[in-house]
Structure 1
Amino acid sequence: MNRTALPAMTLRLPLLAAALLLAGCAVGPDYRRPDAPVPAQFRAADGWKLAGPADAPIAKAWWKHFNDPQLDQLVEQVDLSNQSIRIAEARYRQATALLDAAQAQALPTLNAAAGVTRSQGVSTTTTGGTTAAVGAPIRNTSRLSLTASWEPDLWGRIARGSEAAGASAAAVAADLRAARLSARAAVSQAYLQLRVNDAQHALLERTVAAYTRSAEITRHRFDAGVAARADVTQAQAQLKTAQAQLIDLGIQRRQLEHAIAVLTGKAPAELSLAPSSSLPELPRVPGLLPSTLLERRPDVGAAERRVAAANAQIGVAQAAFFPTLTLGATGGTQSSALARVLSLPNSFWSLGPNLALALFDGGARSARKDQAVAAWDESVASYRQTVLTAFQEVEDNLAALQILDAEARAQAEALAAATESLELVNNQYLAGTVSYLNVTNAQTVALNAERARLDIMVRRLTGSVALFKAIGGDQP
């Protein structure tokens, strides 16, 4: 041990103590969530329950409001097997690993090394005034050592880095929630469209049966000489048109089944859903205050956490302008004989601080700080845009559901009138007071009215899913 180093080391201790007191003094701006435009209430909230903060969490998973067990099973399969969710989960694990690595920088590092070297040098000899170089003896050197180092976080560079990594991990966690919400909404909308497709299929089957009976009646009347040939051709044309529409529905149903299969992590050929004669219930979507939307939407949360991460990166860039202090210590043993490598006389050690500061870098540090500030500005604008988009989506779907509700009532009245008109025209045709053209027109109007009713229903069902998604699903 080198005892002459002890006085010098003793003089350095007050300096090191003072330096350590500065640890945790982080440079850079402290984070504050950016302000964003939040309306007092939603514009299209007339007749819609305005919830207080205590009402924000939905009582049950939002897709269960449709009261369809088949839909519940599909959503469960989405959570287990959807590949987009798997991608988001993998990204979250990556982000947490980066956070662990960032936090590890605040801890000391300890390295061990062991080695054996065989070497030969050159020695000189002098004989009779002549100097000659000859080979030195071959030496074997065995060495064991431990090296420890620690960087006190004087200016908060490591703390800001950990802060940035933590905020980024939280943002990726919000991305994972958004991926789950998006996949659940996608499979719900596809399933609801499939069920309305089944209802349209059942409607066209009934229509084809009715048109078949009408064509038979017209044929009998023609055979009896009380109907024209044109009545028969009109009845046949209308029947074939309805049959073609019935066949065409199969395309959409197959495509919806394929979409549901992929969303649940299956190949399209592996999923087949049996037709159902009943439609899922139209749910009552719970309301909420606009201010709580910022807490529920996972994409808003992700955007806000990315602002926090960008803010911390400014501190990391600013800390680069200050010197870094590293405390290091090395100890071990070294000997030319392996058997004596662990003996105390062959030990060595060293201990001391290292202070480093870049004096000139051609403006690289300033450029990195400017880049960090610009990235922060970008993240703030992205956060505010995400907030505005969230409010727009809620307003759009609220307005759509309100208007569709009024449209559904009007369409129900139109359907009732078309059904009554068809019955009257049928009786008039059988009585011989009107032509079959009147019947086909009335049948077409009635069929279109019923299909329009189902179209409005599917828009209301899928619009409810879109509104659940827009308010953040069942995430509190």
Structure 2
Amino acid sequence: MSLPSITHRAIALAAASLLAAACSFGPNGNPPAMPEPAHYGADPLPTQTVPAQGVTQQFVVGAKAVPQWWRTFQSDELNALVDEGLRNSPTLAATDKNLTAAREQLRAQIGSNMLPSIDAGGQVTRQRALGIPEAGPNTFLYNVFVGQLQAQYTFDIFGASRLANAALASRVNVQAYQFDAARRALAANIVTAAISASMLDAQVQTTERLVALANDQARDTQRRYELGAVPHSDLLNAQQGAASLAASLPAARQQLLTTRHALAVLLGRTPDQAPPPLDLASLHVPEQVPVSVPSDLLQARPDIEAADATLKAAAAEVGVATAQMFPSLTLNASMGQGGFSWPVAVSGAGAIWSLGASLTQPIFHGGALFAQRRAAVASYEASVSQYKQTVLAAFQNVADTLAALEHDAQSLDAANIAAQTAQRSFDETSARYRLGAVPVTAARASEQQYRNARLDEIRYTGARLNDTAALFQAMGNPPVDDARAAPASTGAATAAR
């Protein structure tokens, strides 16, 4: 077989391979179908929680997510903290600026590969050329004056540039959804930090009272031991109990300070400007909690939207890798003036121009182009799996918070009953003490029992408030057109055209 025949056959095989690859430039980028569970958790969703502290939370299935959900806690102080944090957080500001930079990079890429490039250039040179040796050692000195406009445009015949712009637009949308997620996470962190600080402050105050009662009990036992009314073991037990309780107080105060410092940083303040803890009683548990159906949840959570945008970007990148196997056509043109002197360069005789076109068809790159396409396909398939995992994790998040709210209500109801019972017993014992019917030790022991029950009630109150905030956060935003993603979407539309 002759060399031309071998060459022609190789070209034919390459063309056939390219046409086979061109049958499908890439997947459409639509997210895979996900199951829609009848209910999020292993157990069916109850319509409401048990009443706790006089509040029954109702789960409104199918309701839209609440954008500014922290306002449902009916606390002006909490609202002010969240507004301050969203306004002053350096982390959120940095994320916003990164998003702006990504949008500008998208605009730059679209302008670069979808429109012609035109450049103006000028050149003034003085050159020395050797003469012809046979003619003698003459040396030629001359000047060159050139000014011209140069234009270049690559025709996007097979859509490589359009697909690349669509991929970058989807990447920008990923950052837009990540900014939304960061904003929502910041608000949730501020709310939970404020609730935790309020809970810890109430626990510290209650523990301080318990320490005071234990010290009083130890002093009374000391006096009774000195009078011979009790054995030395009773004194040691009283002192040991007071010391153990006092030892737990510094750790509680440290936890409170740490939480307040973290809240200050979330607000964009220095730790020494940490806000005082809110009154736990001023935070009201929302009675109605929206629970989006799974199909709405897929469009409401920014993490799922970000995974969807990543999937679309990966699909477009498969198309880019496929389009790079096909020919590219570039047009070059230039026009201007030139000459060996200024008068000639600016005259009609100095007009210069050029026009040309170049066509490039990849033939052999050592399998690199096919490997790049296979890599893009693998990345797309990984994005599909990541999308599925993100959806499953979102379902789990909702299921866990729903179960936590139901169990929080049950625990808080039991703790509330125990605290109320202990308080009535303490009130009755105090009244009897004032009448002289019981000793002071009985009144003190009754108050200790009440304060311990109150500690449990405070802990479960904070847990219920925090888990309610977590459920609002898990619901995401109501599905609406996201203005933050508009520039990226516009860029994608421009690229598609």
What TM-score comes out, normalization by structure 2 length? 0.80
Asked if 1:169 corresponds to 2:172, the answer is yes
Q: Is the 8 A contact 1:27 1:156 kept in 2?
A: no
2:396 alignment counterpart: 392
1:97 alignment counterpart: 104
1:111 to 115, 119, 131: 119
Please give the alpha-carbon distance, in whole angstroms, between the structure 1 residues aligned to 2:326 and 2:246.
Answer: 80
1:49 alignment counterpart: 59
Per the alignment, in what secondary structure is the counterpart of residue 29 of structure 1? Answer: coil
In 2 relative to 1, CA 124–211 (structure 1 residues): closer, same or farther, beyond 3 Å? closer
Please give the alpha-carbon distance, in whole angstroms, between the structure 1 residues aligned to 2:81 and 2:108.
Answer: 38
Cα displacement (A) at 1:389: 0.3
1:8 alignment counterpart: none
2:322 alignment counterpart: 318
Per the alignment, in what secondary structure is the counterpart of residue 149 of structure 1? Answer: strand
Moved more, 315-324 or 148-157: 148-157
1:65 alignment counterpart: 72
Q: Is the 8 A contact 1:113 1:146 kept in 2?
A: yes
In 2 relative to 1, CA 220–420 (structure 1 residues): closer, same or farther, beyond 3 Å? farther
1:254 alignment counterpart: 257
1:6 alignment counterpart: none
1:37 alignment counterpart: 35
CA RMSD of aligned residues (A): 3.2
Q: Is the 8 A contact 2:120 2:148 kept in 1?
A: yes
Q: Deviations over 1:162-211 (max 9, x none)?
A: 11111111111000001111111112111100011122233234445555
One-letter identity of the residue aligned with 1:310: A
Relative CO higher for 1 or 2, CA cutoff 8 Å, sep ≥ 6? 2
Q: Deviations over 1:375-425 (max 9, x none)?
A: 101111111100000010000000000011111112222223444555677
Please give the alpha-carbon distance, in whole angstroms, between the structure 2 residues aligned to 1:267 and 1:424.
Answer: 48
Cα displacement (A) at 1:231: 6.0
In 2 relative to 1, CA 275–187 (structure 1 residues): closer, same or farther, beyond 3 Å? closer
Q: Is the 8 A contact 2:31 2:387 kept in 1?
A: no
Moved more, 43-52 or 111-120: 43-52
Per the alignment, in what secondary structure is the counterpart of residue 249 of structure 1? Answer: helix
Mapping for residues 359-374 of structure 1, pairs under 5 Å:
359-374=363-378
Unaligned 5+ segments in structure 1 are 1-24, 126-130
Greater radius of gyration (CA): 1
Q: Is the 8 A contact 2:29 2:315 kept in 1?
A: yes
2:129 alignment counterpart: 121
Please give the alpha-carbon distance, in whole angstroms, between the structure 2 residues aligned to 1:473 and 1:212.
Answer: 52
1:13 alignment counterpart: none
Moved more, 206-215 or 376-385: 206-215
Please give the alpha-carbon distance, in whole angstroms, between the structure 1 residues aligned to 2:468 and 2:251.
Answer: 27
Per the alignment, in what secondary structure is the counterpart of residue 120 of structure 1? Answer: strand
Moved more, 31-40 or 326-335: 31-40
2:9 alignment counterpart: none
In 2 relative to 1, CA 274–389 (structure 1 residues): closer, same or farther, beyond 3 Å? closer
Please give the alpha-carbon distance, in whole angstroms, between the structure 2 residues aligned to 1:247 and 1:266.
Answer: 25
Q: Deviations over 1:82-109 (max 9, x none)?
A: 2321232232123212311231111111
Moved more, 155-164 or 193-202: 193-202
2:309 alignment counterpart: 305
Cα displacement (A) at 1:229: 6.8
1:414 alignment counterpart: 418
Moved more, 314-323 or 202-211: 202-211
Per the alignment, in what secondary structure is the counterpart of residue 401 of structure 2? Answer: helix
Q: Is the 8 A contact 2:25 2:323 kept in 1?
A: yes
One-letter identity of the residue aligned with 1:266: R
Please give the alpha-carbon distance, in whole angstroms, between the structure 2 residues aligned to 1:431 and 1:220.
Answer: 20
Please give the alpha-carbon distance, in whole angstroms, between the structure 1 residues aligned to 2:157 and 2:478.
Answer: 44
1:281 to 259, 281, 284: 284
Per the alignment, in what secondary structure is the counterpart of residue 56 of structure 1? Answer: coil
Q: Is the 8 A contact 1:235 1:440 kept in 2?
A: no
Mapping for residues 147-158 of structure 1, pairs under 5 Å:
147-158=150-161
In 2 relative to 1, CA 347–67 (structure 1 residues): closer, same or farther, beyond 3 Å? same
Please give the alpha-carbon distance, in whole angstroms, between the structure 1 residues aligned to 2:247 and 2:125.
Answer: 88
Cα displacement (A) at 1:31: 2.9
Identity of aligned residues (%): 29
Mapping for residues 74-473 of structure 1, pairs under 5 Å:
74-104=81-111, 105-124=113-132, 131-208=134-211, 210=213, 238-273=241-276, 276=279, 278-284=281-287, 285-420=289-424, 445-472=449-476
Q: Is the 8 A contact 2:264 2:271 kept in 1?
A: yes
Please give the alpha-carbon distance, in whole angstroms, between the structure 2 residues aligned to 1:216 and 1:473.
Answer: 58
Unaligned 5+ segments in structure 2 are 1-22, 48-57, 481-497
Q: Is the 8 A contact 2:65 2:472 kept in 1?
A: no
Please give the alpha-carbon distance, in whole angstroms, between the structure 2 residues aligned to 1:280 and 1:433.
Answer: 38
Cα displacement (A) at 1:248: 3.6
In 2 relative to 1, CA 175–84 (structure 1 residues): closer, same or farther, beyond 3 Å? same
In 2 relative to 1, CA 100–435 (structure 1 residues): closer, same or farther, beyond 3 Å? closer
In 2 relative to 1, CA 279–210 (structure 1 residues): closer, same or farther, beyond 3 Å? farther
Moved more, 370-379 or 414-423: 414-423
Moved more, 221-230 or 176-185: 221-230
Q: Is the 8 A contact 1:199 1:279 kept in 2?
A: no
Please give the alpha-carbon distance, in whole angstroms, between the structure 1 residues aligned to 2:394 and 2:278.
Answer: 35
Per the alignment, in what secondary structure is the counterpart of residue 195 of structure 1? Answer: helix
Per the alignment, in what secondary structure is the counterpart of residue 134 of structure 1? Answer: coil
What TM-score comes out, normalization by structure 1 length? 0.83
* Count, aligned residues: 443
Cα displacement (A) at 1:61: 1.0
